[in-house]
Amino acid sequence: MNITETVLVINSGSSSLKYQLVDPNADGSVASGLVERIGEPISHITHTSGDQVVDEEKPVADHSDALREVLRLFDEVGPKLSEANIVAVGHRVVQGGRHFDSAKIVTDRIRDLIAELSPLAPLHNPPNLKGIDVARELLPDVPHVVVFDTAFFQSLPEEAATYALDKDVAEKYSIRRYGAHGTSHQFVSDRVAEIVGTKDICQIVLHLGNGASASAVKCGKAVDTTMGLTPLEGLVMGTRTGDIDPAAVFHLQRVAGMSVDEVDTLFNKQSGLKGLTGDNDMRAVRSRADSDDPDARLAIDVLLHRLVKYVGAYAAQMGALDVLTFTAGIGENDMMLRKELCERLSLFGVELDEAANAIRSKEPRTISTPNSKVQVLVVPTNEELAIAQQALALIK
């Protein structure tokens, strides 16, 4: 192994532990894997190191056992962590509230602040914290760094972060717009600045994956984003509604007799592309739309309609639009969606280079013509690399 230093990046969910050993200097993944169905009778573990892929099924009782299994696989399959020169462990944390506008080295105090924020992200912060606790216990000799999904959006101006809700209620219950996917928006908008050679631009990043969000970034600072108090607000997503009149909640409770939890599940897990078509995977929706399935066509049109609305709104708010960038699973791969959106943005002088748009690549690339008034890019995101780089920068 010819690596100088690595960061072990951990993304701990309620029943899963995803990890990647990253060489932040070479922009590379050294090994990666996933423990799924933690706590169920049979858990599933995959570990990939170079061309070696290990797949195991066995009981894994909790997150502590899961990390022990991961450490065993590094030892048995490689690369041996003792030889990988791990300089930090980087943890993804979903909600940093108003406490965190950047990555932090984990101390007991930082850990407790993350725990305090759990009511704002009850499905995410507690499992993130479990990952932090077991990793600190099992890997006590390296610094642990937390990287927050919300941190990049702490720069939002007050008028973008504030809901027009009773001031005291909002204050008492910390209800404001925190955003999410910030690690990706920061990573991609930084890459864009490198590519165009300056940070002094008005850019919009469209992170279109299973979860989807847009951000407006002016001179390197986020000035607006579509996700709000939680990652439910904004764009149409794989299974989430995105924007919906909150009165739909009252209506479903009063008229359909649904409980809060039922509405929560409906909005977060059974809506979006899945709700409109039965499929949450864009590849399936796209192929159905290609065969003139009306549900699939409408779903894509709803998604596009909202994208156009936000691009227009953000351009107006920033007073200019220099660069528009697509990223994440759909943004990087669905060339038809990019074409459909760019066609709807002719008002802004967006001109797509169809040949460039059709190229499949893992590299950042420009897909607009030289005459286009807005430069359109595809920039692959890499949240693990972003976490590893932030962790490395912090400990140095």
Residues recognised as catalytic:
149
**Any contact of residue 283 with ligand ADP (CB under 6 A)?**
yes
Q: Taking CB under 6 A as the rule, does residue 32 contact ligand ADP?
A: no
234 is a site residue for ligand ADP (CB under 6 A): no
| Using rule CB under 6 A, residue 232 touches ligand ADP | no
Q: Is 278 in the site for ligand ADP (CB under 6 A)?
A: no
Residue span 188-227 as binding mask against ligand ADP, x where in contact by CB under 6 A, dash where not: ---------------------xxx----------------
CA distance 80 to 72: 9
Nearest distance in Å: CB 338, ligand ADP = 10
The yes or no reply on residue 286 touching ligand ADP (CB under 6 A) is: yes
- For position 281 contacting ligand ADP by CB under 6 A, the verdict is yes
Question: What does the H/E/C string look like for the chain?
Answer: CCCCCEEEEEEECCCCEEEEEEECCCCEEEEEEEEECCCCCCEEEEEEECCEEEEEEECCCCHHHHHHHHHHHHHHCCCCHHHCCEEEEEEEECCCCCCCCCCEECCHHHHHHHHHCHHHCCCCHHHHHHHHHHHHHHCCCCCEEEEECCHHHHHCCHHHHCCCCCHHHHHHCCCCCCCCCHHHHHHHHHHHHHHHCCCCCEEEEEEECCCEEEEEEECCEEEEECCCCCCCCCCCCCCCCCCCCCHHHHHHHHHCCCCHHHHHHHHHHCCHHHHHHCCCCHHHHHHHHHCCCHHHHHHHHHHHHHHHHHHHHHHHHHCCCCEEEEEHHHHHHCHHHHHHHHHCCHHHCCCECHHHHHCCCCCCEECECCCCCCEEEECCCCHHHHHHHHHHHHHC
Question: In whole angstroms, how close is the CB of 279 to ligand ADP at the nearest point?
Answer: 9
Based on CB atoms, which residue is closest to ligand ADP, 207 or 218?
Answer: 207
Regarding 268 and contact with ligand ADP (CB under 6 A), the answer is no
Of 322 and 334, the one with the shorter C-beta distance to ligand ADP is: 334
When asked if residue 333 is in the footprint of ligand ADP (CB under 6 A), the reply is: yes
- Residue 358 lies near ligand ADP (rule: CB under 6 A): no
Total length of the chain: 396
In the complex, minimum distance from the CB of residue 211 to ligand ADP, in angstroms, rounded to a whole number: 4
Q: Which is nearer to ligand ADP, 125 or 327 (CB)?
A: 327
Q: Does 13 bind ligand ADP (CB under 6 A)?
A: no
Residue 272 binding ligand ADP, by CB under 6 A: no
In the list 66, 156, 307, 330, the residue contacting ligand ADP (rule: CB under 6 A) is 330
Does position 380 bind ligand ADP by CB under 6 A? no
Interface residue with ligand ADP, options 131, 238, 242, 275 (CB under 6 A):
238
Position 334 contacts ligand ADP (CB under 6 A): yes
Is 123 or 395 the residue whose CB approaches ligand ADP more closely?
A: 123
Instruction: Give contact residues for ligand ADP (rule: CB under 6 A).
Output: 209-211, 238, 281-283, 286, 328-330, 333-334
